[in-house]
Amino acid sequence: MQWLYLYFPNLQLDSSLSSDENRRGNLAPCALIKQGLIVQTNQAARQAGIRLGSGLAQAALLCSDLSISDHQPQLEQQLLKQLAYDLYQLSATLYLYPPQGILVYSQDMRRLYKDQQTYWQTLQAPLQQRQLEYHYASAHTPLAAQLLAQAGRDRLCNNINEAKQLVGQLAIEHSGLESKLIEQLQRLGVQLIRQAQSLPSKALGKRLGQQLISHLHALHTSQPPQQGTYRPRQHFNQQLPLLYEVEHSPSLRFPLLRLLQDLEGFLYARQWQVASLHVGLGYRDKHKDWLMIGNGSPEYQAKVWLDLIMLRLEQIQLQQPVTSLHIKGRQYSPWQAHTASLFEERKHGALTPGQLLGRLQNKLGNHAVQQLQLHDDYRPEQAASSVQAQQLNLNNQAKQMVVNAPRPSILLPLPQALPHKPRYGWLYIQGPERIQSGWWDNHAICRDYFIARNPQGQLCWLFRNHQEEWFLHGYFA
Protein backbone atom coordinates (compact mmCIF):
# COMPACT_ATOMS: atom_id res chain seq x y z
CA MET A 1 0.00 0.00 0.00
CA GLN A 2 1.22 3.49 -0.89
CA TRP A 3 0.15 5.38 2.24
CA LEU A 4 0.80 4.75 5.93
CA TYR A 5 -0.85 6.85 8.64
CA LEU A 6 0.38 7.11 12.24
CA TYR A 7 -2.00 8.38 14.90
CA PHE A 8 -0.85 9.45 18.39
CA PRO A 9 -3.92 9.96 20.61
CA ASN A 10 -1.87 10.92 23.71
CA LEU A 11 1.11 12.67 22.15
CA GLN A 12 1.53 15.47 24.68
CA LEU A 13 0.82 13.26 27.66
CA ASP A 14 3.16 10.47 26.56
CA SER A 15 5.92 12.97 25.76
CA SER A 16 5.58 14.55 29.21
CA LEU A 17 6.03 11.26 31.08
CA SER A 18 9.53 10.10 31.90
CA SER A 19 10.67 7.17 29.81
CA ASP A 20 12.19 5.70 32.98
CA GLU A 21 8.78 5.78 34.65
CA ASN A 22 7.18 4.23 31.59
CA ARG A 23 9.56 1.27 31.73
CA ARG A 24 8.86 0.70 35.42
CA GLY A 25 5.13 0.80 34.76
CA ASN A 26 4.31 2.50 38.07
CA LEU A 27 2.85 5.73 36.71
CA ALA A 28 0.22 7.55 38.71
CA PRO A 29 -3.06 8.36 36.91
CA CYS A 30 -2.53 11.40 34.65
CA ALA A 31 -4.79 13.32 32.29
CA LEU A 32 -4.90 16.47 30.17
CA ILE A 33 -7.88 18.79 30.16
CA LYS A 34 -9.19 21.26 27.59
CA GLN A 35 -12.07 23.59 28.44
CA GLY A 36 -12.86 21.51 31.52
CA LEU A 37 -13.02 18.17 29.66
CA ILE A 38 -10.64 15.22 29.65
CA VAL A 39 -8.87 14.96 26.26
CA GLN A 40 -5.92 12.64 27.00
CA THR A 41 -5.38 9.92 29.62
CA ASN A 42 -2.69 7.40 30.45
CA GLN A 43 -3.30 3.72 31.14
CA ALA A 44 -3.54 4.16 34.91
CA ALA A 45 -6.25 6.80 34.49
CA ARG A 46 -8.22 4.62 32.08
CA GLN A 47 -8.05 1.72 34.51
CA ALA A 48 -9.57 4.03 37.14
CA GLY A 49 -12.60 4.49 34.86
CA ILE A 50 -11.77 7.94 33.45
CA ARG A 51 -12.95 8.34 29.87
CA LEU A 52 -12.34 10.97 27.19
CA GLY A 53 -14.89 13.76 27.29
CA SER A 54 -15.54 13.35 31.01
CA GLY A 55 -15.78 16.44 33.14
CA LEU A 56 -13.14 17.38 35.64
CA ALA A 57 -15.48 16.89 38.61
CA GLN A 58 -16.44 13.40 37.48
CA ALA A 59 -12.81 12.45 36.94
CA ALA A 60 -11.88 13.68 40.43
CA LEU A 61 -14.63 11.52 41.95
CA LEU A 62 -13.39 8.43 40.12
CA CYS A 63 -9.73 8.99 41.03
CA SER A 64 -8.72 11.22 43.94
CA ASP A 65 -4.98 11.14 43.12
CA LEU A 66 -5.42 12.07 39.44
CA SER A 67 -2.70 14.41 38.14
CA ILE A 68 -4.16 17.12 35.88
CA SER A 69 -2.40 19.36 33.34
CA ASP A 70 -3.59 21.69 30.60
CA HIS A 71 -3.64 20.57 26.99
CA GLN A 72 -1.36 22.83 24.90
CA PRO A 73 -2.05 22.54 21.14
CA GLN A 74 0.99 24.60 20.17
CA LEU A 75 3.29 22.44 22.25
CA GLU A 76 1.73 19.29 20.83
CA GLN A 77 2.42 20.53 17.32
CA GLN A 78 6.08 21.06 18.24
CA LEU A 79 6.22 17.51 19.59
CA LEU A 80 4.69 16.24 16.36
CA LYS A 81 7.42 17.99 14.37
CA GLN A 82 10.10 16.46 16.59
CA LEU A 83 8.61 13.02 16.00
CA ALA A 84 8.45 13.69 12.27
CA TYR A 85 12.15 14.56 12.38
CA ASP A 86 12.92 11.13 13.87
CA LEU A 87 10.88 9.41 11.17
CA TYR A 88 12.44 11.57 8.47
CA GLN A 89 15.73 9.77 9.07
CA LEU A 90 13.99 6.56 7.92
CA SER A 91 11.47 7.70 5.33
CA ALA A 92 11.80 10.46 2.75
CA THR A 93 8.25 11.75 2.25
CA LEU A 94 6.16 12.80 5.27
CA TYR A 95 3.08 14.97 5.74
CA LEU A 96 2.06 16.51 9.05
CA TYR A 97 -1.57 16.18 10.15
CA PRO A 98 -1.68 18.31 13.31
CA PRO A 99 -2.21 17.86 16.09
CA GLN A 100 -1.70 14.08 16.34
CA GLY A 101 -1.08 12.52 12.93
CA ILE A 102 1.70 11.84 10.43
CA LEU A 103 1.14 10.54 6.91
CA VAL A 104 3.98 8.57 5.30
CA TYR A 105 4.32 7.89 1.58
CA SER A 106 5.87 4.44 1.51
CA GLN A 107 5.99 3.80 -2.23
CA ASP A 108 9.34 5.55 -2.76
CA MET A 109 11.03 3.48 -0.01
CA ARG A 110 10.38 0.03 -1.49
CA ARG A 111 13.81 -0.12 -3.12
CA LEU A 112 15.46 0.42 0.25
CA TYR A 113 13.39 -2.07 2.23
CA LYS A 114 12.74 -5.56 0.95
CA ASP A 115 9.06 -5.66 1.98
CA GLN A 116 6.37 -3.67 3.77
CA GLN A 117 6.79 -5.52 7.07
CA THR A 118 10.53 -4.74 7.26
CA TYR A 119 9.81 -1.11 6.46
CA TRP A 120 7.21 -0.92 9.21
CA GLN A 121 9.48 -2.54 11.79
CA THR A 122 12.13 0.07 11.02
CA LEU A 123 9.67 2.93 11.45
CA GLN A 124 8.53 1.57 14.80
CA ALA A 125 11.96 1.92 16.41
CA PRO A 126 11.79 5.67 17.26
CA LEU A 127 8.16 5.32 18.39
CA GLN A 128 9.03 2.55 20.81
CA GLN A 129 12.08 4.40 22.03
CA ARG A 130 9.88 7.35 23.01
CA GLN A 131 7.36 5.06 24.72
CA LEU A 132 4.47 6.52 22.67
CA GLU A 133 1.01 5.07 22.33
CA TYR A 134 0.09 4.96 18.63
CA HIS A 135 -2.25 3.43 16.06
CA TYR A 136 -1.42 2.79 12.43
CA ALA A 137 -2.87 1.64 9.13
CA SER A 138 -1.81 1.41 5.51
CA ALA A 139 -4.17 1.87 2.59
CA HIS A 140 -4.38 2.90 -1.05
CA THR A 141 -5.42 6.51 -0.30
CA PRO A 142 -4.34 9.02 2.39
CA LEU A 143 -7.88 9.43 3.77
CA ALA A 144 -8.49 5.70 3.98
CA ALA A 145 -5.26 5.16 5.91
CA GLN A 146 -6.12 8.07 8.22
CA LEU A 147 -9.61 6.78 9.07
CA LEU A 148 -8.40 3.25 9.74
CA ALA A 149 -5.59 4.46 12.01
CA GLN A 150 -7.81 6.88 13.95
CA ALA A 151 -10.30 4.04 14.45
CA GLY A 152 -7.50 1.96 15.99
CA ARG A 153 -7.49 -0.81 13.36
CA ASP A 154 -3.65 -1.22 13.44
CA ARG A 155 -3.53 -3.03 10.12
CA LEU A 156 -1.15 -3.13 7.16
CA CYS A 157 -3.39 -3.86 4.19
CA ASN A 158 -1.98 -6.11 1.47
CA ASN A 159 -4.20 -4.96 -1.40
CA ILE A 160 -6.80 -2.39 -2.37
CA ASN A 161 -9.78 -4.70 -1.85
CA GLU A 162 -8.75 -5.41 1.72
CA ALA A 163 -8.39 -1.70 2.47
CA LYS A 164 -11.78 -0.86 0.91
CA GLN A 165 -13.47 -3.60 2.90
CA LEU A 166 -11.99 -2.38 6.19
CA VAL A 167 -12.95 1.23 5.48
CA GLY A 168 -16.50 0.19 4.58
CA GLN A 169 -16.88 -1.60 7.91
CA LEU A 170 -16.07 1.53 9.91
CA ALA A 171 -18.90 3.19 11.79
CA ILE A 172 -20.05 6.49 10.35
CA GLU A 173 -18.74 8.18 13.52
CA HIS A 174 -15.21 7.33 12.32
CA SER A 175 -15.71 8.79 8.85
CA GLY A 176 -14.00 12.10 9.66
CA LEU A 177 -17.12 14.09 8.72
CA GLU A 178 -18.49 16.98 10.70
CA SER A 179 -20.78 16.03 13.57
CA LYS A 180 -23.74 17.68 11.84
CA LEU A 181 -23.36 15.53 8.71
CA ILE A 182 -22.88 12.40 10.82
CA GLU A 183 -26.12 13.13 12.66
CA GLN A 184 -28.01 13.66 9.39
CA LEU A 185 -26.71 10.36 7.97
CA GLN A 186 -27.68 8.50 11.12
CA ARG A 187 -31.23 9.87 10.81
CA LEU A 188 -31.29 8.34 7.34
CA GLY A 189 -30.33 4.98 8.85
CA VAL A 190 -26.71 5.08 7.71
CA GLN A 191 -24.53 3.46 10.38
CA LEU A 192 -21.51 2.32 8.35
CA ILE A 193 -19.36 4.04 5.74
CA ARG A 194 -20.16 1.40 3.11
CA GLN A 195 -23.84 2.23 3.47
CA ALA A 196 -23.13 5.87 2.65
CA GLN A 197 -20.99 4.79 -0.32
CA SER A 198 -23.80 2.64 -1.70
CA LEU A 199 -26.28 5.54 -1.87
CA PRO A 200 -26.66 7.44 -5.17
CA SER A 201 -24.11 10.22 -5.02
CA LYS A 202 -26.19 12.69 -7.04
CA ALA A 203 -29.23 12.44 -4.78
CA LEU A 204 -27.07 12.37 -1.65
CA GLY A 205 -25.26 15.51 -2.76
CA LYS A 206 -28.52 17.40 -3.36
CA ARG A 207 -29.80 16.47 0.07
CA LEU A 208 -26.69 16.75 2.27
CA GLY A 209 -24.31 18.87 0.19
CA GLN A 210 -21.26 18.39 -2.02
CA GLN A 211 -18.88 18.30 0.97
CA LEU A 212 -20.10 14.80 1.79
CA ILE A 213 -19.64 13.66 -1.83
CA SER A 214 -16.12 15.07 -1.99
CA HIS A 215 -15.23 13.34 1.25
CA LEU A 216 -16.48 9.97 0.05
CA HIS A 217 -14.70 10.47 -3.27
CA ALA A 218 -11.40 11.09 -1.42
CA LEU A 219 -11.60 7.53 -0.07
CA HIS A 220 -10.82 6.32 -3.61
CA THR A 221 -8.32 9.01 -4.66
CA SER A 222 -4.64 8.33 -4.06
CA GLN A 223 -3.48 11.87 -4.87
CA PRO A 224 -0.93 13.40 -2.45
CA PRO A 225 -2.27 15.86 0.14
CA GLN A 226 -2.45 19.51 -0.78
CA GLN A 227 -0.13 20.60 2.03
CA GLY A 228 3.59 20.48 1.42
CA THR A 229 5.85 17.71 2.62
CA TYR A 230 7.66 17.94 5.93
CA ARG A 231 11.11 19.58 5.95
CA PRO A 232 13.42 19.41 8.99
CA ARG A 233 14.06 22.58 10.95
CA GLN A 234 17.49 24.23 10.90
CA HIS A 235 17.77 25.08 14.61
CA PHE A 236 17.08 23.06 17.73
CA ASN A 237 14.32 24.66 19.80
CA GLN A 238 12.32 22.26 21.93
CA GLN A 239 10.39 22.34 25.18
CA LEU A 240 9.01 19.66 27.47
CA PRO A 241 6.13 20.13 29.93
CA LEU A 242 6.37 18.32 33.25
CA LEU A 243 3.30 16.62 34.67
CA TYR A 244 4.68 17.02 38.18
CA GLU A 245 5.98 20.17 39.81
CA VAL A 246 9.69 19.81 40.52
CA GLU A 247 10.98 21.66 43.57
CA HIS A 248 14.56 20.36 43.67
CA SER A 249 17.02 20.66 40.79
CA PRO A 250 18.39 17.06 40.98
CA SER A 251 14.93 15.83 39.97
CA LEU A 252 15.30 17.65 36.64
CA ARG A 253 18.03 15.26 35.52
CA PHE A 254 15.79 12.72 33.74
CA PRO A 255 13.59 15.19 31.80
CA LEU A 256 16.73 17.15 30.82
CA LEU A 257 18.32 13.97 29.53
CA ARG A 258 15.28 13.35 27.35
CA LEU A 259 15.59 16.77 25.73
CA LEU A 260 19.36 16.45 25.35
CA GLN A 261 19.01 13.07 23.65
CA ASP A 262 16.81 14.77 21.06
CA LEU A 263 19.49 17.45 20.70
CA GLU A 264 22.16 14.79 20.20
CA GLY A 265 20.10 13.13 17.45
CA PHE A 266 19.54 16.51 15.81
CA LEU A 267 23.27 17.31 15.78
CA TYR A 268 24.42 13.80 14.87
CA ALA A 269 22.25 13.69 11.75
CA ARG A 270 23.81 16.94 10.52
CA GLN A 271 27.36 16.22 11.71
CA TRP A 272 27.17 19.38 13.79
CA GLN A 273 28.25 20.37 17.26
CA VAL A 274 27.13 23.25 19.44
CA ALA A 275 29.16 25.57 21.67
CA SER A 276 26.42 26.80 24.01
CA LEU A 277 22.85 26.12 25.05
CA HIS A 278 20.04 28.25 26.43
CA VAL A 279 18.14 26.28 29.07
CA GLY A 280 14.75 27.65 30.11
CA LEU A 281 13.10 26.79 33.44
CA GLY A 282 9.35 27.38 33.32
CA TYR A 283 7.83 28.06 36.71
CA ARG A 284 4.36 27.58 38.11
CA ASP A 285 3.36 31.21 37.48
CA LYS A 286 4.32 30.89 33.77
CA HIS A 287 7.51 32.90 34.35
CA LYS A 288 10.62 31.47 32.69
CA ASP A 289 14.28 31.84 33.66
CA TRP A 290 17.01 31.28 31.06
CA LEU A 291 20.44 29.84 31.84
CA MET A 292 23.36 30.24 29.46
CA ILE A 293 25.36 27.00 29.47
CA GLY A 294 28.69 27.19 27.66
CA ASN A 295 31.40 24.69 26.97
CA GLY A 296 35.12 25.18 26.39
CA SER A 297 34.83 23.46 23.01
CA PRO A 298 31.81 22.60 20.82
CA GLU A 299 30.11 19.32 21.77
CA TYR A 300 27.19 17.18 20.60
CA GLN A 301 26.92 14.41 23.22
CA ALA A 302 23.93 14.51 25.56
CA LYS A 303 25.84 13.19 28.60
CA VAL A 304 28.43 16.01 28.37
CA TRP A 305 25.79 18.73 28.25
CA LEU A 306 23.78 17.07 31.03
CA ASP A 307 26.75 17.20 33.43
CA LEU A 308 27.33 20.89 32.62
CA ILE A 309 23.68 21.81 33.15
CA MET A 310 23.50 19.94 36.46
CA LEU A 311 26.66 21.73 37.64
CA ARG A 312 24.98 25.07 36.91
CA LEU A 313 21.75 24.04 38.62
CA GLU A 314 23.71 23.21 41.77
CA GLN A 315 24.68 26.89 42.00
CA ILE A 316 21.15 28.30 41.87
CA GLN A 317 18.03 28.00 43.97
CA LEU A 318 14.74 27.40 42.20
CA GLN A 319 12.42 30.35 42.71
CA GLN A 320 9.28 28.23 42.34
CA PRO A 321 8.42 24.66 41.38
CA VAL A 322 9.44 23.98 37.77
CA THR A 323 6.67 22.87 35.42
CA SER A 324 8.44 22.88 32.03
CA LEU A 325 11.88 22.80 30.40
CA HIS A 326 13.09 24.48 27.24
CA ILE A 327 16.37 24.07 25.35
CA LYS A 328 17.72 26.12 22.45
CA GLY A 329 20.99 25.45 20.62
CA ARG A 330 23.42 28.26 19.85
CA GLN A 331 26.65 28.63 17.80
CA TYR A 332 26.52 25.56 15.56
CA SER A 333 29.64 24.37 13.80
CA PRO A 334 30.69 21.29 11.78
CA TRP A 335 32.39 18.38 13.46
CA GLN A 336 36.15 18.67 13.61
CA ALA A 337 38.05 15.44 14.06
CA HIS A 338 41.08 15.67 16.35
CA THR A 339 43.70 13.09 15.41
CA ALA A 340 46.05 11.65 18.01
CA SER A 341 48.86 9.15 18.10
CA LEU A 342 47.85 5.57 17.42
CA PHE A 343 49.73 4.36 20.50
CA GLU A 344 48.79 7.22 22.79
CA GLU A 345 47.67 6.05 26.19
CA ARG A 346 44.26 7.45 27.07
CA LYS A 347 42.86 7.20 30.55
CA HIS A 348 39.26 6.06 30.85
CA GLY A 349 36.97 8.98 31.72
CA ALA A 350 39.66 11.61 31.18
CA LEU A 351 38.35 15.06 30.26
CA THR A 352 39.40 16.98 27.18
CA PRO A 353 40.67 20.55 27.73
CA GLY A 354 37.37 21.91 26.41
CA GLN A 355 35.29 19.73 28.73
CA LEU A 356 37.42 20.74 31.71
CA LEU A 357 37.00 24.43 30.88
CA GLY A 358 33.23 23.97 30.52
CA ARG A 359 32.95 22.27 33.90
CA LEU A 360 35.01 24.95 35.63
CA GLN A 361 32.91 27.73 34.10
CA ASN A 362 29.60 26.17 35.11
CA LYS A 363 30.84 25.19 38.56
CA LEU A 364 32.63 28.41 39.53
CA GLY A 365 31.02 30.94 37.19
CA ASN A 366 32.36 32.47 33.98
CA HIS A 367 33.98 35.36 35.85
CA ALA A 368 36.14 32.98 37.90
CA VAL A 369 37.83 31.35 34.90
CA GLN A 370 40.33 33.64 33.18
CA GLN A 371 42.79 33.25 30.34
CA LEU A 372 45.77 35.27 29.12
CA GLN A 373 45.32 37.44 26.06
CA LEU A 374 48.30 38.94 24.17
CA HIS A 375 48.31 42.44 22.65
CA ASP A 376 50.50 44.12 20.04
CA ASP A 377 52.31 46.43 22.46
CA TYR A 378 55.98 46.75 23.45
CA ARG A 379 55.20 47.93 26.98
CA PRO A 380 55.28 44.96 29.39
CA GLU A 381 52.22 46.17 31.34
CA GLN A 382 50.19 46.39 28.12
CA ALA A 383 51.50 43.31 26.30
CA ALA A 384 49.04 40.91 27.97
CA SER A 385 45.86 41.01 30.00
CA SER A 386 43.59 38.60 31.84
CA VAL A 387 40.15 38.14 30.26
CA GLN A 388 37.20 35.82 30.75
CA ALA A 389 37.93 32.43 29.22
CA GLN A 390 36.13 31.74 25.98
CA GLN A 391 36.02 28.66 23.76
CA LEU A 392 39.24 26.74 23.36
CA ASN A 393 40.45 26.62 19.77
CA LEU A 394 43.05 23.88 19.75
CA ASN A 395 43.66 24.10 16.01
CA ASN A 396 44.91 27.68 15.93
CA GLN A 397 48.40 28.63 17.00
CA ALA A 398 48.83 31.08 19.84
CA LYS A 399 49.26 34.69 18.89
CA GLN A 400 52.91 35.68 18.67
CA MET A 401 54.26 38.61 20.68
CA VAL A 402 55.54 41.67 18.82
CA VAL A 403 59.09 41.11 20.14
CA ASN A 404 61.34 38.07 20.14
CA ALA A 405 63.39 39.08 23.18
CA PRO A 406 63.04 36.95 26.34
CA ARG A 407 60.19 37.84 28.65
CA PRO A 408 59.75 36.69 32.28
CA SER A 409 57.07 34.16 33.17
CA ILE A 410 56.33 36.06 36.41
CA LEU A 411 55.62 39.77 35.98
CA LEU A 412 55.13 41.82 39.15
CA PRO A 413 51.87 43.82 39.29
CA LEU A 414 53.95 46.99 39.83
CA PRO A 415 57.72 47.44 39.39
CA GLN A 416 59.54 47.17 42.72
CA ALA A 417 61.94 50.05 43.35
CA LEU A 418 65.52 49.17 44.29
CA PRO A 419 67.59 51.44 46.59
CA HIS A 420 70.53 51.55 44.17
CA LYS A 421 71.99 49.85 41.15
CA PRO A 422 72.48 46.12 41.84
CA ARG A 423 76.20 45.50 41.97
CA TYR A 424 77.77 43.17 44.52
CA GLY A 425 76.70 39.52 44.05
CA TRP A 426 74.71 40.27 40.89
CA LEU A 427 75.60 38.75 37.53
CA TYR A 428 74.40 40.63 34.44
CA ILE A 429 73.55 38.20 31.64
CA GLN A 430 71.85 40.23 28.92
CA GLY A 431 70.99 43.83 28.17
CA PRO A 432 70.38 46.60 27.87
CA GLU A 433 67.13 46.39 25.83
CA ARG A 434 65.52 49.80 25.39
CA ILE A 435 61.73 50.09 25.40
CA GLN A 436 60.45 53.55 24.58
CA SER A 437 56.78 53.60 23.68
CA GLY A 438 53.28 54.74 24.66
CA TRP A 439 53.55 58.43 23.78
CA TRP A 440 50.16 58.32 22.02
CA ASP A 441 48.03 57.40 25.08
CA ASN A 442 49.75 59.45 27.83
CA HIS A 443 51.41 56.33 29.30
CA ALA A 444 54.86 56.83 27.79
CA ILE A 445 57.84 54.87 29.14
CA CYS A 446 61.57 54.98 28.47
CA ARG A 447 63.40 52.07 30.08
CA ASP A 448 66.57 50.01 29.66
CA TYR A 449 65.89 46.37 30.61
CA PHE A 450 68.49 43.86 31.84
CA ILE A 451 68.49 40.17 32.68
CA ALA A 452 70.56 39.47 35.78
CA ARG A 453 71.02 36.78 38.43
CA ASN A 454 70.77 37.94 42.05
CA PRO A 455 72.85 36.58 44.96
CA GLN A 456 70.08 34.04 45.74
CA GLY A 457 70.40 32.57 42.25
CA GLN A 458 67.07 33.97 40.92
CA LEU A 459 66.96 35.13 37.32
CA CYS A 460 65.50 38.66 37.42
CA TRP A 461 64.23 41.22 34.95
CA LEU A 462 65.49 44.70 35.85
CA PHE A 463 65.20 48.11 34.28
CA ARG A 464 66.45 51.63 34.80
CA ASN A 465 64.64 54.77 33.74
CA HIS A 466 66.05 58.02 32.36
CA GLN A 467 66.52 59.26 35.95
CA GLU A 468 68.91 56.36 36.63
CA GLU A 469 66.44 54.75 39.06
CA TRP A 470 66.44 50.93 39.17
CA PHE A 471 63.43 48.65 39.44
CA LEU A 472 62.72 44.90 39.64
CA HIS A 473 59.93 44.00 37.22
CA GLY A 474 59.79 40.20 37.10
CA TYR A 475 61.36 36.75 37.42
CA PHE A 476 62.22 34.10 34.88
CA ALA A 477 61.07 30.63 35.84
Q: Where are the domains of the chain?
A: 3-28+65-218, 237-337, 410-475
The total of other beta-carbon atoms located within 10 Å of residue 387's CB is 10
Instruction: Provide the pLDDT for residue 111.
Output: 77
Q: For the chain, how big is the Rg over CA atoms in Å?
A: 34
pLDDT of 18 higher than 70: no
Q: How confident is the model at residue 330 (pLDDT cuts 50, 70, 90)?
A: confident
Instruction: Provide the pLDDT for residue 182.
Output: 92
Q: How confident is the model at residue 385 (pLDDT cuts 50, 70, 90)?
A: confident
Instruction: Provide the pLDDT for residue 155.
Output: 92
Q: Is the pLDDT higher at 56 or at 352?
A: 56
Instruction: Provide the pLDDT for residue 344.
Output: 59
Instruction: Provide the pLDDT for residue 464.
Output: 95
Average pLDDT in the 66-84 region? 89
pLDDT of 346 higher than 70: no
| pLDDT over 90 percentage in the chain | 44
Q: What is the pLDDT of residues 205-223, one digit of tens each?
A: 888 988 899 999 999 888 8
Q: Lowest mean pLDDT: which of 138-147, 323-332, 373-382?
A: 373-382
Q: Return the biggest CA–CA distance within the chain.
A: 122
Instruction: Provide the pLDDT for residue 348.
Output: 54
- Least Cα distance to 399 among 372, 381, 380 occurs for 372
Q: How confident is the model at residue 185 (pLDDT cuts 50, 70, 90)?
A: very high
Q: How confident is the model at residue 396 (pLDDT cuts 50, 70, 90)?
A: very low
The total of other beta-carbon atoms located within 10 Å of residue 87's CB is 18
Average pLDDT in the 189-216 region? 90
pLDDT of 391 higher than 90: no
Q: Cα(451)–Cα(474) distance, rounded to whole angstroms?
A: 10
Average pLDDT in the 310-331 region? 88
Q: Cα 332 vs. chain centroid, distance in angstroms?
A: 12
pLDDT of 394 higher than 70: no
Q: How confident is the model at residue 339 (pLDDT cuts 50, 70, 90)?
A: low
Q: Cα(161)–Cα(141) distance, rounded to whole angstroms?
A: 12
Q: How confident is the model at residue 20 (pLDDT cuts 50, 70, 90)?
A: very low
Q: What integer best gives the mean pLDDT of the chain?
A: 86
Q: How confident is the model at residue 460 (pLDDT cuts 50, 70, 90)?
A: very high
Name the architecture of domain 237-337: 2-Layer Sandwich (3.30)
Torsion of CA 17, 21, 27, 30, to 10 degrees: 0
Q: What is the pLDDT of residues 30-50, one digit of tens each?
A: 999 999 999 999 889 999 999
- Helical (H) or strand (E) element with 380: none
Q: Lowest mean pLDDT: which of 168-177, 272-281, 343-352, 383-392?
A: 343-352
* Strand, coil or helix: 237: strand
Q: How confident is the model at residue 340 (pLDDT cuts 50, 70, 90)?
A: low
pLDDT of 6 higher than 50: yes
Q: How confident is the model at residue 105 (pLDDT cuts 50, 70, 90)?
A: very high
Instruction: Provide the pLDDT for residue 373.
Output: 76
Q: Cα(223)–Cα(287) distance, rounded to whole angstroms?
A: 46
Instruction: Provide the pLDDT for residue 397.
Output: 47
Q: How confident is the model at residue 335 (pLDDT cuts 50, 70, 90)?
A: confident
Q: Cα(13)–Cα(32) distance, rounded to whole angstroms?
A: 7
Q: Cα(451)–Cα(473) distance, rounded to whole angstroms?
A: 10
Q: How confident is the model at residue 306 (pLDDT cuts 50, 70, 90)?
A: very high
pLDDT of 457 higher than 90: yes
Torsion of CA 106, 107, 109, 115, to 10 degrees: 90
- In our burial notation (b when 16+ CB lie closer than 10 A, e otherwise), range 248-280 reads ebeebeebbbbbbbbbbbbbeeeebbbbbbebe
Decide: pTM greater than 0.85: no
pLDDT of 145 higher than 90: yes
The total of other beta-carbon atoms located within 10 Å of residue 290's CB is 10
Residues in the chain: 477
Residue 76 phi, psi (nearest 5): -65, -35
Q: Is the pLDDT higher at 131 or at 417?
A: 417
